[in-house]
């Protein structure tokens, strides 16, 4: 977690260590399940990728081309604007031209900067499958074994969501769990802490921590750049939104008895357009 307060809340919420699987165990269990239950290994999920203009040529194009070598299913692309800038029209044209050469990729444009949580929500809602693989745009598939490892991990997860290799850069969601917990809180108006919030609500809902499956091969993060689409003047040392951090700290409270109380309720998890209009000047 990025800040001490968030770490304390998550530590209290955990109560016990999160369940962490390794892919070697996952492969063994998947093989046994396939034999015993006649489970078919298939890509029964949609992929959601969030992106913006500065990641187009260097990261997004290679990623989509690499994905398409082995994954023929639906890709939902959520495209963010940059903070306090008009949308890059040349980028829009070049992106649409590129996507016209790739089957089954569906773009959703945000003409001004919006939160990461909103982009994830729109991708999840507009995908046609019951499960989604959410990817950052600065990843690369380095080996075909990624897809086999992922399918084995999906079987191992037993219809639950899980982080891949401990990171929110790549995470697998079941829509059933997202429906149960509530969509990403769009009151986190920028980037950062929306993942902490989701994990907090996941624990409060299921009394267990979000699963993590490690050792999935063939995928790497290739970017060392900061998130350039956000307002850099309102980010902390870790480059995440200070607005989001403050909102998280106001939303949860830890007590002397080591219980966590959610101060700000989730009465309407999606969308929070009125809240956005009232507070976007603070970004």
Give the CATH number for residue 202.
3.90.550.10
Q: What is the torsional sign of CA 21, 22, 25, 27?
A: positive
pLDDT tens for each residue of 9-39: 656 555 555 667 676 655 555 555 544 544 4
Torsion angles phi and psi, residue 45, rounded to 5: -155, 160
Q: Which residues contact 69 (CB under 8 A, 6 or more apart)?
A: 141, 144
Question: 40 to each of 27, 37, 62, how far by Cα in Å?
Answer: 14, 9, 29
Parent domain of 128? 4-282
**pLDDT, position 27:** 55
Q: Report the helix count and the strand count for the chain, using DSSP H and E.
A: 10, 12
What is the percent of the chain where pLDDT is above 70? 75
pLDDT tier for residue 225 given thresholds of 50, 70 and 90: low
| pTM tops 0.85 | no
**pLDDT, position 275:** 76
CB atoms within 10 A of CB 169: 18
Task: Report how many domains make up the chain.
Answer: 1
Long-range contact set of residues 92-96: C-beta below 8 Å, sequence gap at least 24: 94/56, 95/56
pLDDT, mean of residues 249-264: 74
**pLDDT, position 31:** 53
pLDDT tens for each residue of 140-164: 999 999 999 999 999 999 989 999 9
């Amino acid at each position: 977690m990025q800040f001490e307060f968030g770490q304390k809340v998550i530590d209290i919420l955990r109560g016990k260590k999160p369940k962490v699987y390794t892919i070697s165990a996952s492969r063994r269990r998947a093989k046994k399940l396939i034999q015993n239950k006649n489970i078919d290994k298939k890509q029964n999920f949609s992929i959601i990728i969030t992106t913006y203009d500065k990641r187009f040529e260097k990261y997004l194009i290679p990623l989509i081309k690499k994905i398409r070598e082995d994954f023929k299913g639906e890709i939902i692309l959520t495209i963010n604007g940059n903070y306090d800038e008009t949308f890059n029209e040349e980028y829009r044209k070049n992106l649409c031209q590129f996507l016209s050469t790739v089957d089954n990729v569906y773009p959703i444009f945000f003409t001004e900067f919006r939160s990461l949580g909103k982009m994830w929500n729109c991708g999840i809602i507009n995908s046609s499958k019951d499960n989604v693989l959410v990817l950052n745009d600065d990843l690369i598939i380095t080996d075909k074994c990624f897809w086999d490892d992922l399918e084995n991990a999906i079987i191992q997860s037993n219809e639950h969501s899980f982080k891949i290799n401990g990171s929110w850069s790549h995470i697998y969601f079941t829509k059933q769990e997202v429906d149960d917990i509530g969509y990403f809180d769009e009151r986190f108006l920028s980037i950062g802490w929306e993942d902490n919030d989701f994990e907090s609500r996941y624990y409060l809902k299921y009394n267990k921590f979000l699963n993590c499956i490690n050792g999935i091969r063939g995928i790497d993060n290739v970017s060392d750049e900061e998130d350039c689409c956000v307002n850099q003047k309102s980010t902390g040392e870790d480059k995440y939104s200070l607005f989001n951090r403050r909102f998280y700290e106001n939303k949860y409270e830890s007590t002397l008895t080591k219980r966590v109380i959610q101060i700000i309720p989730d009465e309407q998890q999606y969308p929070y357009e009125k809240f956005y209009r009232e507070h976007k000047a603070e970004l």
